[in-house]
Amino acid sequence: MTKTRDELLELKAHNPVPENHEREWANSPKGRAVFARVEAQMGHVQASGKKPRWRRPSFTIPAFVVLSATALAVASAGAGDKVVTVSASDALANPAAVERSLADEGIDAQIRAVPANHTLVGKWFHLYFAPNSAIDDEAFGLMKSYVGEIDGSNEAVMKRCPIGDCERTSLLEIPGTVKGPMTLVVGREPQPGEEYWAREIDWDNELAPSGALYCYRLEDKTPTEAGALLERLGYNVIWVHEDDKTSNEVPFPPTGDQIEYAFFRGPETVDMRTATPQNAERYKEAGGTPSQRHPRSSAPWAPQC
């Protein structure tokens, strides 16, 4: 692969707009969702400058304790101001050691690695929490911002990401109040013959092999079955019906709708997207949900369910 092609792929990985059919994309559910996020973030734009760290500097003492070969560093200034910093490269090199070090800090975390294109290798690809995790909306939004999910309505997030975006990072800061259980997903080099899955999907789709809900096979269930399962797990569900022109919240999906995409609006709130059978298969392919074209067998690196 030439350097020019590598550079083009890197640009493509950071640009959500397709190389062609821009008008169709802009009016698609995915396109409208991107523009909605941009519009929400514009209300929080601040003058550019040095990005402040999200924890309050006046309460941070620059005291660092090395826990395991620079895998973790702890900054502490008293109760509520402790931060554990986790390196994605160290998590790739020795995930078990990082998990043990986090456990020593009282954090219940599992490390997973997924194949990614070179722009995301050695960086945090995704993260998610179990439904019984004790985490508030602010901490949830802050941690999600490290994997590129920017909540423009979260004041703390916008202080960390003043222009409504943050560069995806290889370092993750975990507030001392967050104990998990959580799963931290890191990008790795693909094996020979393995797809760059990150280039093919939205990394925030929780139905994809890298997502929190993959093992529940929700795309194979009816909305009634999926909703009941999620509620038993402790989640709240917001239903959104999508077609090529609109995305509308509904009390419950129209008869015959199929599940095609899901993401978290908050620690315990699942935004569940449905569509007619005619559209659902297309949307699954676009969003990385297992489909006829990309069945579960095409992702052998996915978790053993």
How does DSSP classify residue 45?
-
Rg of the Cα trace of the chain?
A: 19
| Helix, strand, or coil (residue 259) | strand
- Domain boundary assignment for the chain: 57-110+126-183, 214-298
Look up residue 102 and give its two tokens: 């986090």
SS3 167: coil
Among 248, 149, 257, smallest CA distance to 206 is for: 149
- C-alpha neighbours within 13 Å on the C-beta side of residue 13: 21
The phi and psi torsions of 228 (rounded to 5 degrees) equal: -65, -40
C-beta separation of 111 from 99 below 8 A:
yes
Provide the residue count of the chain: 305
Helix (H, G, I), strand (E, B) or coil at 134: coil
State in Å, rounded, how far the first CA of the chain is from the last one. 35
Contacts of 149 (CB under 8 A, 6+ apart): 204
Does the global pTM surpass 0.75? no
Averaged pLDDT in 10-residue chunks for the chain of 305 residues? 42 48 52 51 36 26 29 35 91 97 96 91 93 88 89 86 82 92 94 78 88 96 98 95 93 97 93 96 92 91 89
Q: Which helix (H) or strand (E) holds 227?
A: helix 223-233
**H/E element, 104:** helix 95-104
